[in-house]
Structure 1
């Protein structure tokens, strides 16, 4: 496509919008792969359109990306097994020598943490909030995408904003989150049962993604009893961010990934742990150099 960009003003105009459209779709869907698919679909729709009839290309493309993303979100709500089931979360392996605050890659983690909050919104709330609050799309345009009035779109965005603010207040800054996670890791490595109980919320939920399906464990005592399972057999372990949440990843001596654990932290306690141990999915993650 880019080879013809000089000769084709429509392609050139689309390419100028691509990064912004990808950002819109990613904030809507929380998946880089899904965002790429949405942007590609928007390009296909544009290529079938009489471009001369599109007076505001940026607005038209934003509307198309919004509509496609909304369809994907609604499909997820109807068929949740078809949405995140096969998606490996976005994993960022952190530099061992520096605190992540020093790394440019972490600039996006605020956005990634927001994605976790956005998961609690309805598709309509998410669309209204993302398009208006993050990308300054007017409510009348958002209303048209939703098939509702501008006032209804404004109300959805307001409701979403309240939910986001309420949840954001519970999020601990990144450095403190990682300290709690490191305390968990040290206690698990040392078999320190009491140390594990100190950092686990009494109602903590552990979700283990295995080749045979999900296994859920509830309660600090039960989770602490299984924590040592994740501390052995690893030749190498590194801090990671998974969709903006702190965690760690372990590799065997031969370089194959063993597991990824990531954590939701409220205050100084871990409230949820997700453990990915499905080797077929982990194979998509490359070990750091």
Structure 2
């Protein structure tokens, strides 16, 4: 019983980090949860006395489980007519252990999207090196390859991502946040001229909506749609995969997410739009109306117990 308790403690100490690794590998919260559960089952069945490092063992088994799962998923995703986009990670109003772990290993949504084009082992090597700061010797042990081979995989992956449009340097967060706010304001005001000024001459666009070809036209279409919004519709700024993004809210739920990349001149060079209900479901759970009400419930109960006696608030339930 003591050994089982210690194994549980060891697992819980790294569970959030394992989840962050699985999510970066698979781009899906549900798939990441399944991988972590499978890792726990294997860990529970393993002979603890034969293990030198629980964190290293769990990182290795989680990586291999994710690689195997990704091989199947890539075949399945390739057959989808509308293409596939990763599930956005929206930081909750009350950050969880998983939120904090993902903050520590930030990787933008644009990078996550392009990682889909890498082979599973290339993706694993890149994620472990770039997001988790593993050196090539550590990655070699995890993937059962030589350090030189792992260095080459990461180098090839980085070159390919740069060819596909990932900036060599991460955008300045303050500049990025500034442009996101201008995009939000232009959409809210249905300011066509303002929208056009935000984009470079030939921006790229990707969306899970059909027939999306032009970033500015797509943004304008969103602005037109918003002109017919109801009383409960609004546009908010959210934290999406570690960077600011624009959320179109309808009846307390996220209806669409706009994620951008900017260049050194602070022009939008890429726009990614997520509208699929299944991909947005988890985002709504942590940022939608229900999440806000849940967060405010304790405050509401406390406020209900406060009354005024003279000029002084008195807690009548105390």
For this structure pair, what is the TM-score category when the shorter chain's length is used for normalisation?
0.7 to 0.9
Determine the structure 2 residue equivalent to 1:99.
Answer: none
Displacement of 1:7: 5.8
Q: CA deviation at 1:61?
A: 1.8
Of 32, 55, 60, the match for 2:57: 60
After superposition, what is the alpha-carbon deviation per residue over 1:54-81, rounded to whole angstroms, capped at 9, x for unaligned? 3433322221111112223333433325
1:92 is paired with a residue whose SS is: coil
Q: CA RMSD in A?
A: 3.8
Cross-structure match for 2:145: 148
Change beyond 3 A, Cα 1:183–1:75: same
User: Cα distance, 1:133 vs. partner?
Assistant: 5.3
Render the CA deviation track for 1:67-102: whole Å, top value 9, x for unaligned.
Answer: 11222333343332589948641123789xxxxxxx
Deviations 1:5-40 (A, max 9, x none): 786333333333323323333343344433322221
Q: Which has the larger radius of gyration?
A: 2
The CA distance in 2 between the partners of 1:19 and 1:65, in whole Å, is 12
Q: Is the 8 Å Cα contact of residues 188 and 230 (structure 1) preserved in structure 2?
A: no
Q: Is residue 35 from structure 1 mapped to residue 41 from structure 2 by the alignment?
A: no
Q: Which residue of structure 1 aligns with residue 221 of structure 2?
A: 226
Q: Name structure 2 gaps, 5 residues minimum.
A: 294-318
Deviation at 1:269, TM superposition (A): 1.9
> CA 1:113–1:42 in 2, change beyond 3 Å: closer, same or farther?
closer
The 5-angstrom pairing of residues 6-85 of structure 1 reads: 8-80=5-77, 85=84
Q: 2:274, 2:280 within 8 Å by CA — same for their partners in 1?
A: yes
Deviations 1:160-211 (A, max 9, x none): 456678945354222222322332333333343222211122323444445x
Cα distance in 2 between the residues matched to 1:119 and 1:86: 6
Look up the match of 1:177.
176
SS in 1 for 2:212: strand
Which residue of the partner structure matches residue 262 of structure 2? 265
- The TM-score, its normalising length taken from structure 2, stands at 0.68
Q: Is the 8 A contact 2:25 2:123 kept in 1?
A: yes
Kindly indicate whether the alpha-carbon contact (under 8 Å) linking 1:197 and 1:224 is maintained by their aligned counterparts in 2.
no
Which residue is equivalent to 1:91?
Answer: 90
Q: Does 1:215 align with 2:214?
A: no
Q: Contact 2:25–2:124 (CA<8 Å) still a contact in 1? A: yes
The reply to whether residue 238 of structure 1 matches residue 236 of structure 2 is yes
| Maintained 8 Å contact 2:107/2:131 | no
Per-residue deviation, 1:281 = 5.1
Q: What is the CA-CA distance between 1:149 and the residue it aligns to?
A: 2.9
Equivalent of 2:123 in 119, 123, 126: 126
Equivalence for 1:194 = 193
Report what 1:98 is aligned to. none
* Closer, same or farther: CA 7–49 of 1 in aligned 2, 3 Å: closer
> What is the distance in 2 between the residues matched to 1:189 and 1:264?
20
**Contact 2:105/2:131, CA 8 A, preserved across alignment:** no
Deviations 1:229-250 (A, max 9, x none): 2432053321112223432223
Distance between the aligned counterparts of 2:207 and 2:162, measured in 1? Answer: 29
- Alpha-carbon distance in 2 for matches of 1:260, 1:135: 27
